[in-house]
Amino acid sequence: MDYASSLLGLLPGTRRTPGLKDLLARVSTYLPPEQVERVRAAAEFGAAAHQGQKRLSGEPYIAHPVAAAEILAELHLDADTLIAAILHDVIEDTPTPKAEIAARFGNDVAEIVDGVTKLDQIQFKSRQEAQAESFRKMLLAMVRDLRVILVKLADRTHNLRTMDAVPPAKRRLVARETLDIYAPVAERLGLYNIKLELEELGFRTLYPQRYRVIERALKRAIGNQKEFLGKIRAQLEPALKKSGITADVETREKHLYSVYQKMQRKRAPLAEIVDVYGLRIIVDSVDTCYRAIGVVHSVYKPMPGRFKDYIAIPRVNGYQSLHTTLFGPNAVPIEVQIRTREMDQVAESGIAAHWKYKEHAGEGSAQQERARAWLTHLMQMQESGNSEEFIESVKVDLFPDKVYVFTPRGEILRLPRGATVVDFAYAVHTDIGNRCVAAKVDRRLTPLRTVLRNGQTVHVITAKGARPNPAWVNFVVTAKARSGIRHYLKSLKSHEAVELGRRLLQQALAEFHVDLDGIEPATLAAALGEFALHSAEELYERIGLGERLAPLVARRLLPVDQSPSGDGQIGQTGQAGQAAPLAVAGAEGLLVAYAHCCYPLPGDPILAFLSTGRGIVIHRETCANVTDYRKHPENWLPVNWQASDGRFFFTEIRVEAANRLGLLAAVSAAISATQTNICSVNFQHDESETATMIFMLEVHDREQLARVIRTVRRMNDVVRVVRTIAGQNRKRDIEPP
């Protein structure tokens, strides 16, 4: 290790890149000597492993991991975490195997390093996919050991401090990723100081001009701010002392990125933001926090609706404090935070504030438990789709603007702002979400897509046999709800594909008077071998998804003496007269859809098109798109209507009428009088004084639609009413039934 020792000795250490002496000096203040020696040995091992490697700035590569370890030492983390930070690039950038790290420094260190390591050795279709997969791996490693993300955050922080030598395009990419992912992760874990530095560095890198403008404006205001806050402190401190409250009153430093976010959120100019001043009051106990808020409100009037109690209801990352906004001198708003010293420590350092050594992992702090509670459902979220879908789900779940709602038992649930009843149901339990059919909010029945507000009590009503609605994905906001719905529908789609495929194959075999259950096992096994499939269920699923044609499979399964001869066309439609049509409306699910180009209704002559990967799409025979699809007769199959069992279908009508005041309201009222729901309406008029209204309706069948059309036609101003083919492919109108 002579080379390593000499190299480490040459690292001088700066504010942005501390050297080994700085690191060892800091860890020696809280770690025993034997652990300090382990850290030194790890630095020498890392220096030897990275021998000859340099950063883009020209400095030895080992300077970076040592600096990352120094960032973690500021949080007083354990020796294993510091060693992992020093070695975090060894597996990725050097030939050193994971086993050697485990042998020298222990399995915990090796697992942390492996969790941080990127997946550069795997070939991905795009850079975005590679980044997403790398981040997915890191988050899942966090489930096993939270120290993985601590090392990654330190790595990212030092990289941002030293981005000057990196090409501009890559700088912007790293900065965007930091603001989107890493800073919110740090906030979610309560690592306030790291979060602030990541935001400031990321903001400066991504938007340098905006950063400079805001920085100059705040510097100009800082003199007035100090004088202004001094006057406020001069009034608050005596008032607190008079009430017997010992407190430290501190000015709260304004951060550029938070100012920029507030400008974006409120769509306000900088001048309206920079005059918001901040104070922090630190006291000795929770009881004193509430006494202090009373004193503060007696000195300055509070702004209505701006008091927040994060002590009684902590944020999801464990943050606790009282927040209030006061009308200061000259009505200038003052933001005040009141908290205990312990709360202040947690606010600054989060889960690292009470970090337990591995041997005491069972005694983890409340902050760590909250962090782990968030991380446990990442395992469920990863089933929601590919890596890029996963990363988007995590982004949605990271931001801490929360709504606090109650279960019927009085338990508090934290949900993102904009969360719906369905999000609440999945937050309680995945099974509750899957089976929810209705809900009561504050004892009143309410739709499942209702957006929840603070303080509401939600009671979810479930039903045995109920299942998620695919439309829920369009309005849920939590990653857990979206993941639960997609996972359930994915398995349901597979099950439905098997059932549909079996029905289609049975139908195709019936043309030859052969029953599916009568197929010889040897014949079926031979066919599966030819198709490179492993089971009959897999074959049925491929047929149901349209990836294999039932008539072709049926012909392969026929006994030799029944195999058809000749060159006749193969396809469902060619044998439509002999085959029993497939019944639709009511029994179908995800794999039977009704085309939005023609909106078929029960009673319409219909055809079904087998679409690869989607299942069956039902069209009206008069649909303009049918002409295009007829080029593939092998994908058509005969269908007929069965009882719709009270279900609704979409349809569209076009109404032309003389334009007048109140016309739309009058036509809408006439349609509603037939007990028909209007989903949407598009109103158009031109210089000819004729208005055109296109109504999207929900009806049971053609008879109900006919009643609507007759009712509207009887109106005096109406010129014409027709049922239309909707969408971009509208080619002609179809006269009403």
Q: Which residues belong to the active site?
A: 92-93
DSSP 580: P
The continuous run of DSSP H or E covering 396 comes out as: helix 387-398
Q: Which two tokens stand for residue 22?
A: 């700085």
Contact criterion met (CB below 8 Å) for 32 and 79: no
Say what angle helices 127-144 and 107-116 make with each other, to 10 degrees.
150
Closest CA to 542 of 593, 610, 618, 488: 610
CA gap 53, 190 in Å, rounded:
35
Contact criterion met (CB below 8 Å) for 648 and 678: no
User: In sequence order, what are the beta bridge partners of 336?
Assistant: 279, 324
Q: Backbone dihedral region of 468: left (phi > 0), alpha (psi from -120 to 50 degrees) or beta? A: beta
Q: Rounded to the nearest 5 degrees, what angle is found at the Cα of 724, between the Cα atoms of 602 and 710?
A: 70
Query: What is the maximum alpha-carbon separation in the chain?
Result: 106
Length of the chain: 737
CA gap 342, 327 in Å, rounded:
28
CA gap 364, 351 in Å, rounded:
9
Contact criterion met (CB below 8 Å) for 321 and 315: no
**What are the helix (H) ranges across 178-321?**
183-188, 192-206, 208-242, 256-266, 286-299
Buried b (16+ CB within 10 A) or exposed e, 205-223: bbbeebbeebeebbeebee
Q: Which two tokens stand for residue 174?
A: 């790293």
